[in-house]
A and B are shown apart, each in its own frame.
Chain A
Amino acid sequence: MTVVDLGDEVLPAQAAATSDSPRRWLPGNLSSVVPVALLCILWLVPTVGLLISSFRQEDLVKGSGWWTALTSPFEGQWTLQNYTDVIESGLGTAFVNSFVLSIPATLIPIVAASFAAYAFAWMDFPGRQALFALLIALLVVPLYVALIPILRLYGNFDLTGTFVAVWLAHTAFAMPLAVYLIRNYVGSLPKSIIESALIDGASHFQIFWRLIMPLSTPIIAAFAILQFLWVWNDFLIALIFLGSDRENQIIQQALVRLIGDRGQEWHLLTAGGFVAMFVPLVVFFTLQRYFVRGLTAGAVKG
């Protein structure tokens, strides 16, 4: 359970806000530029290596290091063949499956958690405090405990290997964090707007959809991105509940399968890696602010 109250100001926004007044308590400029640059290069090199490899021809990928491409960049060694090959080898289907898995596994928890968050924040009922405390306590239960019992339960209902099984699992595992985050936000909305809506004769259901949901978009966006990346990047839950049926395989499973064939298929692995990373990276670069906000608000879950 990690809860850091940082408000909204993180990463780029804050960087911009403070750039005018650099703080004076730190060493001079060059002595910070050099180490930062070194660390950044160190952090980038592995990814750049894979990216370059993914555009090189098969025999080159297998026969020489990616850095050799840098010394002779214009000798016609570049190709998109790896990408077309790997997508046709089943990664394309897996890519689609990942969307089919991830979108509901992101949206269903939002609906369920928002309703619960509203109830915990604005409705009075016996056991409210205790139930909320219980939910928070569950933040720390490692989801490994759920795998065997749920696998058996699914076995009884023939659910193993279906998307529904994985949607429900992801929804349930996301619940403690989602309810916690959304409740904190919804609970901080001004009491007066909800009371005046009630006086005007609105039902709780209407207030929820017309008032609470629109007002809560910042936290919902933050959670949605966190959850989407979590589900997209998950391998364990898919491995256990979705099984090894090639038809239903998601992208992470397909990539692990490719890694299993390594030695022969290095060129496919490079491209496959980037197909798997493509969506998270796009999300990351376009919605970084929300992602950071979600992460800092609740970095850990089972």
Chain B
Amino acid sequence: MTRVLFGVLAVIVGVGGSALLFWALNWLVDRLPDGTADRLRPYAFAGPALLLVGLYLIYPALRSIRDSFYGDRSEEFVGLDNYRQLIEDPSLRSTLINNVLWVFLVPAFCLVFGLAIAVLADRLSGRWESISKSVIFMPMAISAVGASTIWLFVYNWRPAGREQIGLLNAIWTGVGNEPVSWLQVSDGRLNTLLLIIIMVWTMTGLAMVLLSAAIKGVPEDTIEAAQMDGATESQVFWRVVLPQIRSTITVVLTTIGIAVVKVFDIVFVMTGGNFDSDVIANRFVKELFDFRRFGQASAIVVFMMVIMIPIIVLNIRNFREQEALR
């Protein structure tokens, strides 16, 4: 009960405080001579937001780049040592292979499933269309930790002889196989692929929503014209609809791609990065918390920023094209 009370109080103080800050800033500006007040007011309005991003994003980005050239406590300059260690670490290769798998497979599968649902559900009656879309979309609202909890019950393993409570092993043993501890099997990156399924499960809804809106935006007359010329339905889809939603497809791939580069929670919860299933974001958290090697951790972060650059460039180019079309 006191906790709830404390909570309500904290909420009031936090929210009220921020509103009060702007009121006070505005009040202060009002005290100034007219000309000065007009010139300063925009900064009073935009200032807090800019100050926050400066402190929480710009400064840390620069600081991380600096720290990546310094030692564990960020005191002595070590040149490229952190990067050298990172590259020479034999387990890094395995981690990077996993990340490559994540970055390619998750967006690709989300695109395929999302497109399939967007196209097919469009054919259903309005009611069923929105129900089926809600079903696919629902995992977007669930946290990665919650999604992992759900999937732990799918991948659960019990030794042979005991009744399986995981769905996958129940099916697997049902057709006459020995139960498998799925998340510990790294052959063929099986465990990584199983974790990838979880993310595909959560992100397909996003792909579906974006693609569905784009498909509905395709001008009806282009489709009718093609049909008039005798195009089959699949020709209409591949040659008329798909080219017109190309920019949305790019957005879907890059959006999900950016989210995937940062994937952390699922791996942290499901395997902790063990059994060759590690990803870079999880390595970062390990370096930070388990080993307290700030130099190494910073190098990983800088590395992450660098591998995101191509995706970001692609996204920005696409964004510019869209803005130009407006």
Give chain A's interface secondary structure class.
Answer: helix
Chain B residue numbers with a CB within 8 Å of A211 are none
| Known A-B contacts A4-B251, A11-B209, A168-B52; A145 and B148 likewise in contact (beta carbons under 8 Å) | no
- From B19, B143, B170, A235 is in contact (CB under 8 Å) with B143
Q: Interface size (A, Cβ < 8 Å)? A: 128
Measured CB to CB, the nearest residue on chain A to B58 is A138
A26–B233 touching, CB < 8 Å? yes
A295–B209 touching, CB < 8 Å? yes
Chain A residue numbers with a CB within 8 Å of B209 are 10-11, 292, 295-296
- From A23, A259, A284, A300, B223 is in contact (CB under 8 Å) with A23
Bits for B129-163, please: 1 = Cβ < 8 Å to A, else 0: 11011111111111111101111111000000001
A43–B46 touching, CB < 8 Å? no
Interface residues of B in 171-230 (CB under 8 A from A): 201, 204, 206, 209-210, 212-214, 216-217, 220, 223, 226-227
From B2-10, B79-87, B92-100, B101-109, give the one contacting chain A.
B2-10
- From A9, A164, A262, A277, B142 is in contact (CB under 8 Å) with A277
- From B64, B137, B216, A145 is in contact (CB under 8 Å) with B64
Complex Cα gap A109–B11 (Å): 13
Give chain B's interface secondary structure class.
Answer: helix
Interface residues of B in 225-248 (CB under 8 A from A): 226-227, 233, 236-237, 240-241, 248
Would you call A269 an interface residue if the criterion is a C-beta within 8 Å of the partner chain's C-beta atoms?
A: yes
- From A15, A116, A147, A256, B130 is in contact (CB under 8 Å) with A15
B210–A255 touching, CB < 8 Å? no
- From B123, B127, B141, B268, A32 is in contact (CB under 8 Å) with B123
Q: Interface size (B, Cβ < 8 Å)? A: 127
Chain A residue numbers with a CB within 8 Å of B63 are 148-149
Would you call A199 an interface residue if the criterion is a C-beta within 8 Å of the partner chain's C-beta atoms?
A: no
Expressed in whole angstroms, the minimum distance between the Cβ of B264 and any Cβ of chain A is 6
A-B contact pairs, 29 of them (CB 8 A): A2-B319, A3-B251, A4-B213, A11-B130, A11-B134, A39-B132, A40-B135, A43-B204, A46-B154, A46-B167, A65-B164, A65-B167, A104-B15, A107-B14, A108-B18, A111-B18, A119-B45, A123-B45, A131-B50, A163-B14, A233-B145, A236-B265, A256-B268, A259-B149, A269-B152, A277-B142, A291-B141, A296-B213, A302-B57
Give me 17 other A-B pairs in contact (C-beta within 8 A), A140-B312, A280-B143 excluded. A3-B319, A11-B137, A14-B213, A18-B216, A19-B127, A25-B240, A47-B139, A65-B163, A96-B4, A104-B11, A111-B18, A135-B49, A144-B281, A148-B63, A168-B52, A273-B150, A280-B141
